[in-house]
Amino acid sequence: MEPNYKNGEVIFVDKATDKFGYLDVVVFNIEGKMAVKRIIGVPGDRIVIKEGILYRNNCMLLNSLDNINIKNIEINLNLDEYFLAGDNFIVSKDSRHYGPISRKDIIGRVI
């Protein structure tokens, strides 16, 4: 999540909340480890990455992906799924690689 969060940095997490929205930073379990990413897709959203452009519900979010080797993606999020991305989008390993994250795997929101 660099440059906003760095490895080894102490963060505070609100585990009591059960509501998450766009751009919230969350801690979640993936592949037996905890990770920190930003929410860019919430339950019911459609996420598309095509020809270097990131869309959410047919609205362009990011179009500076032309120089990046990112595969095309089309995902309709289920009612308990979130699409997460790292702030350093170019090199981040996130939902583009491991798919949507289930609500049960989200530990809490970074405060």
For the CA atoms of the chain, what is the radius of gyration?
14
The DSSP output letter for 67 is: T
Map tokens 């990112």 to a residue: 70
Q: Annotate 68-98 with b (16+ C-beta within 10 A) or e (fewer).
A: eebeeeebebeeebbbbbbeebeebebbbee
Range of the domain at 98: 13-45+77-110
Question: Looking at the domain assignment, is residue 87 inside a domain?
Answer: yes
Question: Looking at the domain assignment, is residue 51 inside a domain?
Answer: no
Residue-level pLDDT at 4: 72
> At 95, which helix (H) or strand (E)?
helix 95-98
Tally of domains within the chain:
1
| Averaged pLDDT, groups of 10, the chain, 111 residues long | 73 92 96 93 95 89 65 93 90 90 97 92
The pTM for the full model equals 0.88
Find the CATH number of the domain harbouring 85: 2.10.109.10
Question: Looking at the domain assignment, is residue 105 inside a domain?
Answer: yes
